[in-house]
Amino acid sequence: MKTLPLILAATLALSACGDRLGGAGGVNDDGFAGGAAGANGAIVPGSANDPASPAYFQARVGDRVLFAVDQSTITPEGQATLRGQAEWLNANPSYTALIEGHADEQGTREYNLALGGRRANAARDYLITQGVDATRLRTISYGKERPLEVCSTEECYAQNRRAVTVLAAGAGV
């Protein structure tokens, strides 16, 4: 855990780069390049087929949950995603996670920061109920500062009202 602050700082710097995958900071995208299996059929370590990889977490488990307008209640779909996240985190104890809360642009800057804080904590609380150690989970709110989709219709807003679980390699990696 000693290395956590440094790692988190690196995570933030990356996630601020506007990656369309959103909040994927600290995790490289190798797993998405179609690198399914090696020539001999073995699982490529670190690919989305490697169940212990962050790429797998992002692509297969699902790194985000979405929220209704103004709400921070975890939906049934969100609960399923978070149960998968908890299972993964419990199986991979060397990782910590920063949960980013976001809001759509239909709200004032201040209110959306608070709302993002609520959403990130709702996801964190659910992960804790699923057995994830609270000390492995931090939260941050970006309010409406980092939209994933940039159109100004509900189609985009629905994707932007989100809590994203961003993995960081903790102690032992």
Residues that bind other proteins (CB under 8 A): 5, 8-9, 12, 16-18, 20, 70, 72, 105-111, 113-115, 117-118, 120-122, 125, 138-142, 145-152
Q: Which is nearer to other proteins, 53 or 72 (CB)?
A: 72
Q: Which is nearer to other proteins, 37 or 151 (CB)?
A: 151
The 8-class DSSP code of residue 96 comes to: E
How far from 161 is each of 100, 122, 156, CA to CA, in Å?
Answer: 11, 13, 9
In sequence order, the 6+-apart residues with CB closer than 8 A to the CB of 20 are 148
Rounded to the nearest 10 degrees, what angle do helices 76-91 and 109-129 cross at? Answer: 60
Tell me the closest approach of the beta carbon of residue 86 to other proteins, in angstroms: 18
Tell me the closest approach of the beta carbon of residue 115 to other proteins, in angstroms: 7
Q: Which is nearer to other proteins, 49 or 136 (CB)?
A: 136
Q: List, in sequence order, the alpha helices (H) in 68-145.
A: 76-91, 109-129
Tell me the closest approach of the beta carbon of residue 74 to other proteins, in angstroms: 12
